[in-house]
Amino acid sequence: MTNKKKNTKTTKKTAIGLLVLGQIMTTGALAAPQEAISAFKDVKEIRQDIGHFKGEIKLFIEKDGKKTRVDQNMKDGLRVVEGRTCVGVRDLVNAIEGAEVEWDQVSKVVDITYDGKTISYPLGKPVMWDGDKMVTIDVPAQVDPSISRTFLPIRNIAETLGFKVDWNQKTKEVTLTPGAGTGQTTTTQQPKANTKPNTKPNTKPNTKPNTNKGGVAKGGTYTLANGKTLPKINNLPKESTGYFISKADFTDNGDGTMTFAKGTEWEATAPKPSVRVDSSPAKPDFKILGDNGPDNRIGTAVLMQENPLWEKVWQFVVDRYGADDYQWVDKAKGIKNQPDFEHFTRCPGAFEEFEALLAPRKIKQQYVDYFIKNGKHMKYKGEPYATRQPLADDDFYDATGIIDPNVTYVGTDSFGTSPLANSDTYIITTNNEYYRTIFDKNKNTNIEVDKILVPYKSKTGKISWLVIDVPNFRFKVSNPYNNEFGLIMVDLENMKLILNKEGKYVDESKFK
């Protein structure tokens, strides 16, 4: 596929980390050399988790001194692999004039050519072919099964093709400059995407008086504390939009949860932020399914800011990647950016301390067997291709009171969870169903969450699961847009209600 004409109008966001690659079935002259295909055969496949990106990053291409913003034309949406942000290859080809892409279905290899140079990536293998040699990379091409798209590292691609890549942490902008790079392969992609809560305060305060005190208005609709009245769910605006919300729109239920727009069709319940504790006792008869009785650990977590292990890992991240990328802090609240699971595994000694916390919390096999036998796995349409689900031979640990569930948004699309979370995270409901955190948008389902199930890989490579009991919270999976992209989401990170018709980023300028 060759990009002959560029459209520089806007619609979507991107970032520096990874690139979602559409599986483009073409038969051109870009194919990887036989030498590369033979070398790829000897490399073992690996699988990394793919999740949804939350945030805003702008992508520019600078040519002849002129910067053109290209992310707003991108259609495939953003994803995250190993914390790095992703964008579709069709979008990249449309953004980079002269780029060509070929997918070799037989060899499972992606070839990208630009300015006379071709680079090749085998699916699922941590290597690439750069001109005349095979090079190791840390994030291989991976498929998101729910949309049949493949991910690739954008910094690696851009720099190898001769682009200079500049990242502005303050403005969250990535600039690609053709012909200004070294043409050398970069095996570590930085900066890493921020997939954790944005701790900056809302820049659009609620200035209008609350004429209805954030309650039910005439006709059964809901009036926000800022005076804006929400539409009926069955009569949404024709275009994607959103609303700024505030704490005044939530009701504290007194049980560790808070409910948005309580008593209306917009109602959604989420846990309150966790409280940090210095230690948390094990519960020997903790069950994966069902009620475990009174548990003071629910709503608390050891591994949060000010915990020595947490702070050790956070400092490791800052020292390794640089303060500009990671040391952003809400100074008014003193909240630091949260390290994720990859950082716990890489920080010397940290993973051993983490597993020592879990050691006395291994869940008894009888409760694991009961979960595997009686839990109802509610798959969404793309999940038959999912990489991993819980098995009876896996180890399960009670992580209640250790890991912060950190639920950051609730709604149709999915919801954010702990720093260890990824696309294979599950929720367990009060009626013994368990779901991936991406739901089938064609079904209307009421969800009441009882626990969160998070996978992690031990030092031995074995998959284990962390079970976190949370204050039960409720929301409805519904898609009034009746398409595969639509979603309604309460964003607890940035205090927004998002009505997304097309699955694209909704700019705040479109908010009501």
H or E element that contains 40: helix 34-41
Mean pLDDT for the chain overall: 75
pLDDT, one tens digit per residue, over 445-504 is 778 889 998 888 776 778 889 999 998 888 776 667 776 667 788 888 778 888 887 766
Confidence (pLDDT) at 402: 93
Whole-number Å distance between alpha carbons of 56 and 214: 28
What's the token pair of residue 198? 């944005």
More confident of the two residues 260 and 153: 260
**pLDDT at residue 324 tops 80:** no
Pick the CATH number of 18-178 from 3.90.105.10, 3.30.457.10, 3.90.1150.10, 3.40.50.300: 3.30.457.10
More confident of the two residues 375 and 201: 375
What's the token pair of residue 364? 């008894």
Whole-number Å distance between alpha carbons of 154 and 192: 12
Please, which residues have CB within 8 angstroms of residue 323's CB and are 6 or more apart in sequence?
none
CB 150 within 8 A of CB 21: yes
Q: Which amino acid, one-letter code, is at 136? A: T
CB 16: neighbour CB atoms within 10 A?
A: 27
Which band of pLDDT confidence, cut at 50, 70 and 90, is reported for residue 211? very low
Helices (H), 322-382: 323-326, 341-346, 350-358, 365-374
More confident of the two residues 273 and 368: 368
**pLDDT at residue 204 tops 60:** no
Strands 58-63 and 173-178: parallel
Whole-number Å distance between alpha carbons of 145 and 47: 12
What's the token pair of residue 108? 């499972």
CB 75 within 8 A of CB 11: yes
pLDDT, one tens digit per residue, over 69-107 is 988 887 776 677 766 667 777 777 778 888 888 877 778
What's the token pair of residue 395? 């180890």
Whole-number Å distance between alpha carbons of 337 and 276: 16
Angstrom CA distances, 210 to 18, 90, 213, 246, 261, stand at 43, 45, 5, 11, 14
Angle at 202 between CA 196 and CA 204, to 5 degrees: 145
DSSP letter for each residue of 402-460? TS-----EEESS-----TT--TT-EEEETTSEEEESS--TTS-EEEEEEEEEEEEE-TT
**pLDDT at residue 143 tops 70:** yes
Confidence (pLDDT) at 421: 46
Confidence (pLDDT) at 469: 94
Angstrom CA distances, 395 to 48, 154, 346, 462, stand at 20, 35, 22, 8
Strands 257-260 and 84-86: unpaired
Question: Which residues make up the CATH 3.30.457.10 domain(s) of the chain?
Answer: 18-178
| Mean pLDDT of the region 191-206 | 34
Residue 499, Cα to own-chain centre: how many angstroms?
Answer: 19
More confident of the two residues 443 and 130: 130
Whole-number Å distance between alpha carbons of 358 and 19: 35
